[in-house]
Chain A
Amino acid sequence: SYELTQPPSVSVSPGQTASITCSGDKLGDKYACWYQQKPGQSPVLVIYQDNKRPSGIPERFSGSNSGNTATLTISGTQAMDEADYYCQAWDSNTVIFGGGTKLTVL
Chain B
Amino acid sequence: EVQLLESGGDLVQPGGSLRLSCAASGFTFSSSAMSWVRQAPGKGLEWVSSISNSGGTTYYADSVKGRFTISRVNSKSTLYLQMHSLRAEDTALYYCAKDQVAAAGPPFDYWGQGTLVTVSS
Contacts and interface: CB of A to CB of B under 8 A. Distances in A.
21 contacts: A1-B62, A35-B45, A42-B95, A42-B114, A45-B107, A45-B108, A45-B109, A48-B109, A49-B107, A86-B44, A88-B106, A94-B47, A94-B61, A95-B47, A95-B50, A95-B59, A95-B61, A95-B105, A97-B37, A99-B44, A100-B45
A43 interface: yes
B112 interface: yes
B35 interface: yes
Dominant secondary structure at the A interface = strand
Contacts of A1: 62
Interface in B30-51: 35, 37, 44-47, 50
Interface residues of A, number: 25
A93 B50 CA distance: 9
Interface string A73-106: 0000000000010101110011111111000000
B45 A33 contact: no
Interface in A36-60: 37, 42-45, 48-49, 54
B100 interface: yes
